[in-house]
Amino acid sequence: MDMTTRSCREFVDILASDAPTPGGGGAAALVGAIGTALGNMVASLTVGRPRYAAAEAEMTALKAKCDTLQQELLAQVAADATNFLPLSAAYAISKDDPARDNEMEKALMLACKTPLRIMELCCEAIDCTAIFAEKGSRLAVSDAGCGAVICKSALQAASLNVFTNTKLMKNRSVADELNTKATAMLDNYCPMADQIFNSVKECFCI
């Protein structure tokens, strides 16, 4: 069943249970969608307001982009659960089975795919949120700050779901490549999200 069609309460209850999915990846995807939507709220409250006419076209385009990002992030909840299944099956293979290492390696690669995609989508959302915070409605600027730090947390959470799998890979060249990609996103976008937060905080003279 698509977890995104369940109530918030059901999702949290299942997340807290011993069910194999959703886990950290699915949670990161949902949180990323929420953070993206918060930033997108700023666009919704900006478009059509005469005071922000100069930013109308840019806000409209970014709103459309974030509408898509939200849906893509929600889709990753199910994708993460699906891509975890082969890894769960690989763990069940006897350690004496000569096929186990190969199956495990393939499953670990697949298990990295979704969290990496979640990270990419969160980075795109943070890029958008930076503009929302700068040019969007001042009445909703706090939502841009909230969106930035929430997307940052989703980015960080998804990265741990990459690193936990790459650590187990036998092919260290592939593992290092995936780690480098994930680390680059963290290094570039965590400071950006912090900068957005601080700039929004300064709006309130704190």
pLDDT digits (tens, 9 = 90+) for 110-127: 999 999 999 999 999 999
Residue range 98-109: mean pLDDT, rounded: 92
CB atoms within 10 A of CB 192: 17
**Residue 94 burial (CB < 10 Å; 0-12/13-18/19+)?**
exposed
CB atoms within 10 A of CB 33: 28
Residue range 4-31: mean pLDDT, rounded: 90
Residue range 57-72: mean pLDDT, rounded: 97
The pLDDT assigned to 205 comes to: 72
Contact predicate 126/196, CB 8 Å: yes
- Domains located in the chain, CATH noted: 21-203 (1.20.120.680)
Residue range 159-168: mean pLDDT, rounded: 97
Contacts for 8-15: CB closer than 8 Å, 24+ residues apart: none
The pLDDT assigned to 5 comes to: 81
Tokens 């890029």: give the residue. 127
Contact predicate 60/176, CB 8 Å: no
The pLDDT assigned to 1 comes to: 60
Q: State the pLDDT confidence band at 206, using cuts at 50, 70 and 90.
A: low
Residue range 89-101: mean pLDDT, rounded: 88
The pLDDT assigned to 58 comes to: 96
Contact predicate 32/151, CB 8 Å: yes
